[in-house]
Structure 1
Amino acid sequence: MTVKVSVVIPVYNAEPYLPRCISSLVNQTLKDCEFIFVNDGSSDGSKAIIERFGCCDKRIRVISQANGGVSSARNTGIRHARGEYVGFVDVDDYVAFDMFYNLYKAAVEEDCDIVASNFQVRQDGALIMAKYPFPTNKKLTRGYIREHVLPYMLRSDDFNTACTKLYRRELLESRGIFFPEGVKLGEDGIFNMAFLSVAESMRYLSYAGYHYCEVEGSATRNAAKSDYYQRVLEVYQAEPPSVYIEVMAPHDISRLKSIKLISNVLDNIHIYLNESSLPLGSRLRYVKGMVAHQAVRESLPYYWEEKKNVLGSYHKLLLFLLRRRSLLGIYVLTGYSRYRNRNSGGKRNENHDVCS
């Protein structure tokens, strides 16, 4: 069988989620796939579950290694992939049956290096559809990627996730592009920046086949064990790939990085104030430290100037409280927002990334 798409799935102690994830993969309408499950040192029955499904479907491959983290497992999968394109799925999520058919079809129709799509997630009681501000269903050139996509990634985390994209394997191999290991958060963004820096073409589909499922202890919610703001600072202070120096002025690079910093701070405020496993005092002290940090104070004017004409009343008030360093006001306002979202039960569209 000629493998059209290799799907890499890192697995670590994922017994409860594996049957749903595997079923969504083996029932893909694109049959010429291989599913590479990298058992990353699991101590539960995950490997046995994968092997049981593999007895009925020879497209399932299991590779076991000592625990090295998500990036290490994905890199192992890349090295073993045989498909024209490589995609990624997190084991606690699932995909629509036509997802890889749609992405692969779009890739070969325009001979693209990368194809991206949307995703869905239920968060705080609301169904979020993540969308991006790029032209849909057409081939985007290297010039467009440099002028629009790469700057967008510098100013926002929205487009970071690797789980809604297909990558040309030949380009991954020839340029030696892998996920950074030893990074707690943001590895997807680093990987995508590296790939898009060398990609000649891209296609963005107005389609959402990936279903992100928040679970207890997920990377984006496990605030009790992670210092998210420290990682945000590391990203803010790090030098971007060299291609950025070629296409942007230093002032613009600094401005876009400042906008991303404040966006992450706003996300972290909601995550920490909603983290019930931490004592309230600890949560408030953490938020107070973020709000008072010099980098945040210096970046706030850039964010306000960029967003002031598009922000709703809630975010304008939150920024006002952030500028005033009003911890009590921030706590009351975000609490009201959580209450409203839980009781709305509605749907909303956002440019918001939850896969790191």
Structure 2
Amino acid sequence: MSIRVSVIIPVYNAGPFLRECIRSLMNQTLRECEFIFVNDGSKDDSKEIIEEHMPLDFRIRLINQNNQGVSMARNAGLTAASGKYIGFVDADDTVEADMFEVLYTRAVEWECDMVISDFESTVGSHSIITDFPLPRCTKLDRGYIRKQLLPEFVKSDILNAVWNKMYRAEIVRKYQVIFPANVALGEDAYFNILFFSVADSAVYIDYCGYHYIATAGSATRNIADQDYFSRAVQVYETRLPEIYASLLDGKTIGELKSERLINTVLSIVHLYFEPSKDMGLRQRYKYIREMVSSRTVKEALPIYFENHYSSSGRYKRMLLEMIRKKVVPGLYLAAAYSRMRNK
């Protein structure tokens, strides 16, 4: 049987969520596909759960390796993949039964190297659909990808995820597109940058089949364990892949990086001034004070003011002024007002 889509699922200690993920894949209406689970040295029962389901569906494959991280797990899956297109699923998420049939059908219909779709994020009892400011159901050519999509990775992270996309395998193999380890911008972003920089075409479809589950209490949501601003500074200061030298001049790159950093700062203000059991108010207040007093914010803020202040809403302009003047009590009150207004 000719494999149309290879789906790569990195697995590390995913036992509590894995069965639901596997069931959603076994329900896929596309039969000509393979589900490559890469067990990245799990210490729980993840391996046994996958083995338990293998006799139930011939499409399930298992690779076991020592723990090397999600990037190396995905790369192992890429090496083993035999499909014409490649997709990704995280082991604690689920997909609609028709997801890979829909993405594959659209890829063939539009003769595209990549298909992009919406996705649903769930945090507790709240769900939201993420969509993108891109033309829908229109073939995006190489010029559009280079001028519109690649710069997006510099100024924001909205396109970073790999699991709401499908990639032509021939491109991945020909240009050796893989996931790098330990990069500030993020492994997913770098994979996408590498792929977008050599892709000739893409299509953004009107479809949502991926369900991203933000696990409550996970390390990525615990502000006591995550130094979000330091990571934002790393991204701000990191050297971009060489493709950008031919796309953007230094001034434009500086403007896009400043936009990303200050928007992150604004998000961190609201995140750290929410009531939290993970970190006391005194610590959170100190964190915000040090952030708005930092060299990088002082460097990026004037550039952001020049390019975005006049087009910002009244509330955002107020926050920007308080950041510039380092009025941390005002930021605290503004964040409290925003929470009350949005209830």
Give the 3 Å change call, closer, same or farther, for CA 172–320 of structure 1 in structure 2.
same
TM-score between the two structures when normalised by the length of structure 2? 0.92
- 2:223 is aligned with 1:223: yes
Q: Secondary structure at the match of 1:55?
A: helix
- The one-letter code matched in structure 2 to 1:202 is A
Contact conserved, 2:40 with 2:64, CA < 8 A, in 1? Answer: yes
Distance in 2 between residues matched to 1:184 and 1:243, nearest whole Å: 17
Give the 3 Å change call, closer, same or farther, for CA 23–144 of structure 1 in structure 2.
same
Contact conserved, 2:185 with 2:238, CA < 8 A, in 1? Answer: no
Give the 3 Å change call, closer, same or farther, for CA 69–219 of structure 1 in structure 2.
farther
Structure 1 residue aligned with 2:197: 197
Give the CA deviation at 1:305: 4.2
Q: Which runs of 5+ in 2 are unaligned?
A: none
- The one-letter code matched in structure 1 to 2:228 is Y
Give the CA deviation at 1:220: 3.9
Structure 2 residue aligned with 1:266: 266
Contact conserved, 2:184 with 2:235, CA < 8 A, in 1? Answer: no
> Which has the larger Rg?
2
- 2:286 is aligned with 1:285: yes
212-221 or 63-72, larger mean C-alpha shift: 212-221
Structure 1 residue aligned with 2:28: 28
RCO higher in 1 or 2 (8 Å CA, sep ≥ 6)?
Answer: 1
- The one-letter code matched in structure 2 to 1:173 is R
Distance in 2 between residues matched to 1:231 and 1:299, nearest whole Å: 15
Q: Where in structure 2 are the equivalents of 1:1-150 lying within 5 Å?
A: 1-123=1-123, 126-150=126-150
Q: Secondary structure at the match of 2:15?
A: coil
Give the 3 Å change call, closer, same or farther, for CA 244–312 of structure 1 in structure 2.
same
Give the CA deviation at 1:258: 0.9
Q: Secondary structure at the match of 1:213?
A: strand
- 2:333 is aligned with 1:332: yes
Give the 3 Å change call, closer, same or farther, for CA 15–340 of structure 1 in structure 2.
farther
Distance in 1 between residues matched to 2:3 and 2:229, nearest whole Å: 41
Distance in 2 between residues matched to 1:143 and 1:85, nearest whole Å: 22
Give the CA deviation at 1:96: 1.5
Q: Where in structure 2 are the equivalents of 1:237-256 lying within 5 Å?
A: 237-256=237-256
Q: What is the root-mean-square deviation in Å for CA atoms of aligned residues?
A: 2.1
Distance in 2 between residues matched to 1:302 and 1:126, nearest whole Å: 36
Give the CA deviation at 1:330: 2.0
Contact conserved, 1:119 with 1:210, CA < 8 A, in 2? Answer: yes
- The one-letter code matched in structure 2 to 1:82 is S
Q: Secondary structure at the match of 1:163?
A: coil
155-164 or 307-316, larger mean C-alpha shift: 307-316
- The one-letter code matched in structure 2 to 1:264 is T
- The one-letter code matched in structure 2 to 1:132 is F
Q: Secondary structure at the match of 2:211?
A: strand
Q: Secondary structure at the match of 2:338?
A: helix
Identity in percent = 46
